Each structure stands twice: as structure tokens, then as C-alpha cells.
Amino acid sequence: MALLESSGKLTFLRVHDVGTGFGPAADFIDVEVVVKLDTMPNNSFGFQLRNDNNRPARAGMLDLLRDAFNHNWTVIIDYNLDTGKTNGVIIRTALVK
């Protein structure tokens, strides 16, 4: 697994129920928030939004991503991606001008 960073504009933002996840069985990520970037159209990235100790930070990440989507702002995401996979798990988000 590699920790990577990518930036771009959001082309997709999805939030769904806990446990439904995203992607095919061979490239499944157990997440509730999913995004796609214009710079990496074949990849998807997401994170969990569960009622745990990470909830405040992840709610903040969702707020940043929602604002970026609504205003067409550029985001930077740091994510873990397993070798050979196209769906990664986000650990940090940021906005840039």
C-alpha cells in the first residue's frame, strides 16, 4: 500500500449509507463518501463517515469537499492505494487557490 497525493477538481461527490461501500469486489473500499477528480478520471477515492473518534475530522473533510464541488475549487487529497487498484482511501483533504 502506498500513500499518495493528487489534486484536481471534483467531478463526482457521493455520500451513502454505512456498509454499502463502493467499487467491485476486487477493488472495493468500505467508505461512505466517494469522490472523483478530473485529473484521474479512472480512479475513485473515499473515506468513512462513522460515529467514531474520526467523525469530526471526516465531517470537516466532507465539508471541504462539498464546498470545492459547489465552487469548482481545486482540492488536494492524500490517500492510501493498494498496488493494482484504482479505488483509494482518503486520509487528508485540502483546498488550494
Per-residue pLDDT of 50-75, as tens digits, reads 999 999 999 999 999 999 999 999 99
Give me 58's grid cell: 471526516
- Mean pLDDT computed over every residue of the chain: 96
pTM of the full structure: 0.94
What pLDDT sits at residue 54?
A: 94
Q: What angle do CA 45, 96, 89 make, to 5 degrees?
A: 15
